[in-house]
Amino acid sequence: MAHPAAALPKNIHILNGSNDLAMSSGRYVMAIYNPTAGQITVDLTGAITTYQTDAYKQNDSEVTGIPIPAGGTIYGRFTNVGCATANVICYTN
């Protein structure tokens, strides 16, 4: 089993509410934390599977409007994160 220090995201990015965080070169957003007092919505691109016509399939386009409640965290492997609310924290590898 890997040491926890090697498994946890090491970098954070605090979104400004205007610009998407776009990752490349094998880097990903691993967790998105909402420190604000209200629910936010994020737009994500990455390892997301959605139901399409007849089965669950990899969705290669942006998925919009995913809610994160106040104090909540969403985990995954995302290549792009957009949010119109400032101070949302993204943890990256």
* Spatial distance between the Cα atoms of 41 and 76, rounded to a whole number of angstroms: 15
8 A C-beta contact, residue 23 and residue 45: no
Q: What is the pLDDT of residue 74?
A: 94
Quote the DSSP letter at residue 4: H
φ and ψ of 20, to 5 deg:
-70, 155
Render each residue's pLDDT in the chain as its tens digit; 93 residues.
566 666 677 799 999 999 999 999 989 999 999 999 999 999 999 988 889 899 999 887 888 899 999 999 999 999 999 999 999 999 998
